[in-house]
Amino acid sequence: MTQKELPKAYDFHGTEERIYQWWDSQGYFQPTNDPNKPDFDPTKKPFVIAIPPPNVTGGLHLGHAMFVSIEDLMIRYHRMKGEPTLWIPGSDHAGIATQLQVEKALAQEGKTREDIGREAFIERTWSWKKKYGGMIQQQIRRLGASCDWTRERFTLDDGLSRAVREAFVTLYEKGLIYRGPRLVNWSPNLRTAVSDLEVEHSQEPGTLYYFKYPLADNPEEFLPVATTRPETILGDTAVAVHPDDPRYKKYVGRKALVPMLDREIPIIADEYVDREFGTGALKITPAHDPNDYDIAQRHNLDIINILNKDVTINENGGPYQGLDREECRKRLWADMKARGMVIKEEPYTLNVPRSQRGGEIIEPMISEQWFVKIDSIAKKAIDAVRDGDIRIVPDHFTKVYFNWMENIQDWCISRQLWWGHRIPVWYCDDCKGMTVQREDPAQCQHCGSTHIHQDDDVLDTWFSSGLWPFSTLGWPDETPDLKYFYPTSVLETGYDILFFWVARMIMDGLEFTDEAPFHTVYLHGLIRDEHGQKMSKTKGNVIDPLVVMDKLGTDALRFTLLVGSAPGNDMNLSEKKVEANRNFANKIWNAGRFVINAIANAPEKPEREPVWTPADEWLHARMREVVRNVNRLFESYQFGEAGRQIYDFFWSEFADWYIEIAKMQLRESGDRAFYTAWTLVRVLDKCLRMLSPFTPYVTEELWGHLKQAAQAKSELLCPDDPWAEALMIAQWPESKPEEGWEKEAVEKFANATMEHSRAFRTLKTELNIPANQAASGSIIATHEMLPVLEAQKDLIAYSSALKELEILTAVPDAEVYKQFHSSSIAATGSMIYLHTQEAVVDDKLREKLERELSEANSQIQRLENLLASDFANKAPAKVVENERTKLETYRQTAEKLKKQLK
RNA sequence: GGGCGGUUAGCUCAGCUGGUUAGAGCGUUGCGUUGACAUCGCAAAGGUCGUAGGUUCGAGUCCUAUACCGCCCA
């Protein structure tokens, strides 16, 4: 393809898929140093990320787009730095979510999972997985993800299932897993226990019910008690009061009668009771309230469960058996009212536990579950972060992590589901013993009986996710991958799963491999709509990344997500923002077209050594500075800021200034044209390399054309780091130390060409002279600025579209110059004049100059005060010198203005 | 109740270890299209950086208090 054929606008539709497939087919996504291959070099340090496995049957949303963008950015950056890089993709079986989807499909046939049985159900779920499971992986590819797809993993694969079993049995053997009846969070809809983390608490209006708790030995006497959940009265096993409460002291030790059931229960004293709350007397329902459960443990109280698994009342509810919990509450309360046991009801704000998934009210309930004893494991995980083996970015999440880890509770890992890793425990029907094994047993470990059956429950999905960084690499086997790629490098994910997932990986990693599974945790924020609202289907403010990519391109979406966010901070996204970055992609494209065209028209080689223009020097110096900044920012995980620096440099400096000036320099032909083209190629090449991890498609496509055009022209147009097969595997620009000439080159160009051209342009605009209409102008400069301005005279004239430009240090003819429109440049002490035809001293001009003078005067005043203060003694000499120069410049500006206004 | 963030231009947000005229995108206003780009260019308007103290020669940046908003944990 020649440059003539490059379309005027970047066509991402025709580019993205083709480029992705090419990368993939070239094997660029696979690590360059593979421990399974003969030329493997174990001394090279790899960079490894394990993907946060998305739900296998889910569809892509912005959260995925976010983590893919950030991780791909890191992976591409390290790959370009020449490190062997591995990004392991995969997905999660998502027990509850997936099971629900299959159950929903079954329901449409009028069936339940029980109808078809466990085996058939699981089979069905697998075929569901096969059908929909690939979807999200395809969508992740669209985002440009450079994962090694040959190493893709799924939590229910054989290998990973083995890892889960190994983990469970190991913990069991260490005595860190136990089973028992405990109070758990019961999800009535899902009919399973869920972990503390899967419960959200919401403030909701409710009622506080006051009633009489009659004394057993004297039914005329009663204790007033308040509750928010009257139906739990049926499960009360005590009434508690504060030991120091004078109102109730006399009741302690006596018995009360459970309303309607007339069951005798003790009245106890416990300091947990809040005397201020309600009546100061607390009913205790250990089977259905976590605090009551704790009290029951202390006082050895009975624990009476009153609920069935479908949260209807069970046989312990006496006459209320079979009623739903809501219905029971109404009936029981009505019955108590009829008996005169009710005192009052008052409105009260409840703290309602709701399922994170379905939103239904979670019922605390006693049931037989499996738990991981977490204390000792958590301690190691705390130490790892405290000792710096693991660093959390941004830093403030370290505190959040400690806070949670230090108050962690044992983890309920069993789920009453069918889709997942079945608990590897077998019960003997004969001796009742338990067999816990890595391999499915044929007989009881204890009595040898063959009458054994496996535990019905499966493990929490997070149990397998916690093993992810090493299970994906082959653990428990000592595979070459595990040996080389583990521990991984960075774990990147949203802060919302810091506890769910990150903390568990850290605990598991330390427990099973004796190593921190990664050295850095990078947490990104949540994506909200443009006004900071959470996106939700009901609000209708959901942005679908697939739609955005269709409309504006993948690069635009990626760049927006990457540059619009700081680590750990939520980000507000709107299509407008993506649009702005689509424009950026187009800007890159068109700058590229210009450069390619410039190459074509440039000579093949120069006649002599280069003579750089001030613009060339400025651009090279700025480029070097940007490379240093970007490298520094990448190293400190400030990717957004890095992207912004490249964006600004590319658009506001390279495109707006240098390319414009290059047009003039190219027209000079000869060596000037050659070295200008050479500069254009080198700078564009560096920018494309640094942008590649942000916007991989447009940069790859353009770089291909650039390389081709440059190579076709001359070997001499080769950039610093040589051309590579593809941009995505080209060498990353490394920082080079600052050299003496750079600062001066930047300052000179900014002060001369940029400042003066801008001033002329503004003046033209004010005078309604079309920007491209040539006029003549003068600069009255300070003596210091004169040589600099002289050197850039042509550049200034060109950039200001001036037909003629004179540079002087004093006005040659005051009377004439007073007639010209003028303006001062405070930063350089210059005065500029436009030699307009209609010489007018209108009030507006005077006013303007007076305004400039008063501004200059106030600055002079400010600086004089500043320099007369302690500042001059205490501030570093450099800073003081800077201010002195500034003052001098303002003085010169003021002088010139005064003369002009005389 | 404990903890963590945020508060900067009309909107959405940057602003690293404090350095002295606070930036961007979008929006608004004016001008502009025969060659990189109207998915654009040139220019303009717009902010006492939530409030009150403090440290410092110097504070958007550090400290203390406080208000409001949000989140996490209990």
Quote the ipTM score.
0.94
Task: Determine the protein residue whose CA lies at the shortest distance from the C1' of B5.
Answer: A569
- Residue A822 forms beta bridges with which residues? A833
Same domain, residue pair A249 and A264: yes
Q: In Å, what is the separation between the CA of A7 and the C1' of B14? A: 33
**Vertex A394, ends A509 and A516: CA angle to 5°?**
15
Helix axes A639-648, A614-635, angle to 10 degrees: 170
Residue A31 structure tokens: 């690590």
- Short-list A667, A669, A628, A626, CA closest to A650: A626
Domain for residue A319, yes or no? Answer: yes
| Residue A16 neighbours by CB under 8 Å, 6+ apart | A142, A144, A553, A554, A697
Domain for residue A828, yes or no? Answer: yes
- How far, in Å, are A452, A748, A800, A804, A874 from residue A778 at the CA level? 100, 19, 12, 8, 41
Domain for residue A649, yes or no? Answer: yes
Rounded CA-CA distance A118/A419 in Å is: 9
Instruction: Measure CA of the first residue to CA of the last residue in chain A; give whole Å.
Output: 64
Q: In Å, what is the separation between the CA of A353 and the C1' of B69? A: 24
Q: In Å, what is the separation between the CA of A635 and the C1' of B16? A: 12
**Closest nucleotide over all strands to A203 (CA to C1'):** B74
Rounded CA-CA distance A518/A469 in Å is: 8
- Average pLDDT across each block of 10 residues of chain A; the chain has 902 residues. List them in order: 70 94 96 93 95 87 91 96 96 85 86 87 89 88 95 92 94 92 84 83 81 84 85 85 84 82 84 80 86 84 85 83 85 84 82 82 87 91 90 86 86 89 92 90 88 91 93 94 95 88 93 94 87 79 91 93 83 88 94 94 93 94 91 88 90 93 93 95 96 95 95 91 95 91 89 91 84 85 93 92 92 87 87 76 74 85 84 85 87 89 80
Quick one: which H or E segment has residue A425? strand A425-428
**Closest nucleotide over all strands to A632 (CA to C1'):** B16
Task: Determine the protein residue whose CA lies at the shortest distance from the C1' of B15.
Answer: A641
What is the bridge-based pairing of β-strands A520-524 and A490-494?
parallel
- How far, in Å, are A720, A823, A824, A844, A856 from residue A902 at the CA level? 56, 15, 15, 16, 16
Domain for residue A712, yes or no? Answer: yes
Coil vs helix vs strand at A223 = strand
**Closest nucleotide over all strands to A576 (CA to C1'):** B26
**Closest nucleotide over all strands to A404 (CA to C1'):** B73
Give the model's pLDDT for residue A4.
53
Asked if A709 contacts A702 with a C-beta cutoff of 8 angstroms, the reply is: no
Task: Determine the protein residue whose CA lies at the shortest distance from the C1' of B36.
Answer: A594
**Closest nucleotide over all strands to A531 (CA to C1'):** B12
Q: In Å, what is the separation between the CA of A472 and the C1' of B17? A: 39
**Closest nucleotide over all strands to A652 (CA to C1'):** B24
**Closest nucleotide over all strands to A633 (CA to C1'):** B16
Same domain, residue pair A284 and A358: yes
Domain for residue A722, yes or no? Answer: yes
Quick one: which H or E segment has residue A795? helix A793-799
Chain B nucleotides close to protein (CB under 7 A) are: 2-6, 11-16, 19-21, 24-26, 30-33, 36-44, 56-58, 72-74
Coil vs helix vs strand at A543 = coil
Q: In Å, what is the separation between the CA of A577 and the C1' of B25? A: 7
Amino acid at A575: E
- Residue A436 forms beta bridges with which residues? A425
Quick one: which H or E segment has residue A355? strand A342-355
Task: Determine the protein residue whose CA lies at the shortest distance from the C1' of B2.
Answer: A403
| Environment class of A310 (CB within 10 Å of its CB; exposed 0-12, middle 13-18, buried 19+) | exposed
Same domain, residue pair A273 and A316: yes
On the CB side of A56, how many CA atoms lie within 13 Å of its CA? Answer: 30
| Residue A338 neighbours by CB under 8 Å, 6+ apart | none
Going A690 to A695 to A699 to A701, the CA torsion angle's sign is positive
Q: In Å, what is the separation between the CA of A681 and the C1' of B29? A: 38
Q: In Å, what is the separation between the CA of A695 and the C1' of B21? A: 35
Q: What is the DSSP string of A253-292?
A: TSEEE-TTT--EEEEEE-TTS-TTSTTSEEEE-GGG-HHH
Helix axes A670-691, A660-667, angle to 10 degrees: 150
| Environment class of A274 (CB within 10 Å of its CB; exposed 0-12, middle 13-18, buried 19+) | exposed
Residue A633 φ then ψ, to 5°: -70, -40
Quick one: which H or E segment has residue A522? strand A520-524
| Ramachandran bin of A300, using left for φ above 0, alpha for ψ from -120 to 50, beta for the remaining angles | left
Task: Determine the protein residue whose CA lies at the shortest distance from the C1' of B74.
Answer: A407
**Closest nucleotide over all strands to A6 (CA to C1'):** B36
Rounded CA-CA distance A901/A898 in Å is: 5
Same domain, residue pair A708 and A722: yes
**Closest nucleotide over all strands to A660 (CA to C1'):** B36
| Residue A682 neighbours by CB under 8 Å, 6+ apart | A620, A623, A719, A720
Q: State the CATH number of the domain containing residue A220.
A: 3.90.740.10
Task: Please say which residue of A817, A838, A859 terminates a domain.
Answer: A838
Residue A749 φ then ψ, to 5°: -70, -40
Task: Determine the protein residue whose CA lies at the shortest distance from the C1' of B16.
Answer: A633
Going A711 to A714 to A717 to A719, the CA torsion angle's sign is positive
Coil vs helix vs strand at A527 = strand
Give the model's pLDDT for residue A840.
56
Asked if A55 contacts A97 with a C-beta cutoff of 8 angstroms, the reply is: yes
Same domain, residue pair A596 and A731: yes
Give the model's pLDDT for residue A565.
77
* Long-range contacts from A170-173, C-beta under 8 angstroms, 24+ separation: A170/A512, A171/A372, A171/A511, A172/A436, A173/A436
Domain for residue A619, yes or no? Answer: yes
Q: In Å, what is the separation between the CA of A551 and the C1' of B69? A: 34
Rounded CA-CA distance A182/A194 in Å is: 13
Q: In Å, what is the separation between the CA of A526 and the C1' of B70? A: 12
Q: State the CATH number of the domain containing residue A647.
A: 1.10.730.10
Q: Report chain A's C-alpha Rg in angstroms.
A: 37
Give the model's pLDDT for residue A3.
43
Asked if A418 contacts A122 with a C-beta cutoff of 8 angstroms, the reply is: yes
Task: Please say which residue of A705, A738, A771 terminates a domain.
Answer: A738
Same domain, residue pair A675 and A756: no
Residue A768 CA, distance from chain mean position? 48
Helical ranges in A521-638 per DSSP H: 545-552, 554-563, 575-601, 614-635
**Vertex A813, ends A808 and A815: CA angle to 5°?**
135
Residue A537 annotated in ligand binding = yes
Q: In Å, what is the separation between the CA of A435 and the C1' of B55? A: 67
Residue A609 structure tokens: 């050594």
Same domain, residue pair A595 and A714: yes
Asked if A261 contacts A235 with a C-beta cutoff of 8 angstroms, the reply is: no
Domain membership of residue A730 as a residue range: 582-738
Q: In Å, what is the separation between the CA of A582 and the C1' of B9? A: 24
Helix axes A575-601, A670-691, angle to 10 degrees: 150
Q: In Å, what is the separation between the CA of A488 and the C1' of B24? A: 36
Residue A736 structure tokens: 């080079």
Same domain, residue pair A645 and A693: yes
Asked if A613 contacts A795 with a C-beta cutoff of 8 angstroms, the reply is: yes
**Closest nucleotide over all strands to A587 (CA to C1'):** B37
Same domain, residue pair A758 and A716: no
**Closest nucleotide over all strands to A883 (CA to C1'):** B20
Domain for residue A97, yes or no? Answer: no
Domain for residue A893, yes or no? Answer: yes
| Environment class of A652 (CB within 10 Å of its CB; exposed 0-12, middle 13-18, buried 19+) | exposed
Total domains present in chain A = 4
- Short-list A704, A583, A562, CA closest to A3: A704
Residue A253 φ then ψ, to 5°: 100, -20
Same domain, residue pair A756 and A896: no
Q: In Å, what is the separation between the CA of A492 and the C1' of B23? A: 29
Rounded CA-CA distance A562/A318 in Å is: 61
Give the model's pLDDT for residue A697.
96
Rounded CA-CA distance A80/A733 in Å is: 9
Q: In Å, what is the separation between the CA of A881 and the C1' of B20? A: 13
Task: Determine the protein residue whose CA lies at the shortest distance from the C1' of B13.
Answer: A564
Q: State the CATH number of the domain containing residue A889.
A: 1.10.287
Buried b (16+ CB within 10 A) or exposed e, A681-703: bbbbbbbbbbbbbbbbbbbbbbb
Task: Please say which residue of A693, A719, A738 terminates a domain.
Answer: A738
**Closest nucleotide over all strands to A569 (CA to C1'):** B5
**Closest nucleotide over all strands to A654 (CA to C1'):** B36
Q: What count of other Cβ atoms lies within 10 Å of the Cβ of residue A63?
A: 19
Q: In Å, what is the separation between the CA of A394 and the C1' of B70? A: 18
Same domain, residue pair A257 and A207: yes
- Residue A267 forms beta bridges with which residues? A239
- How far, in Å, are A56, A584, A652, A802 from residue A657 at the CA level? 49, 16, 7, 16
- Residue A434 forms beta bridges with which residues? A427
| Residue A467 neighbours by CB under 8 Å, 6+ apart | A160, A163, A164, A167, A475, A505, A508, A512
Q: In Å, what is the separation between the CA of A532 and the C1' of B70? A: 10
DSSP type of residue A362: P
Q: In Å, what is the separation between the CA of A776 and the C1' of B56? A: 50
pTM: 0.91
Asked if A460 contacts A95 with a C-beta cutoff of 8 angstroms, the reply is: yes
Same domain, residue pair A697 and A623: yes
Q: In Å, what is the separation between the CA of A529 and the C1' of B58? A: 40
**Closest nucleotide over all strands to A658 (CA to C1'):** B36
Residue A476: asked if its preceding bond is cis (omega within 30°), the reply is yes
Task: Determine the protein residue whose CA lies at the shortest distance from the C1' of B19.
Answer: A879
Coil vs helix vs strand at A483 = helix
Task: Determine the protein residue whose CA lies at the shortest distance from the C1' of B72.
Answer: A400
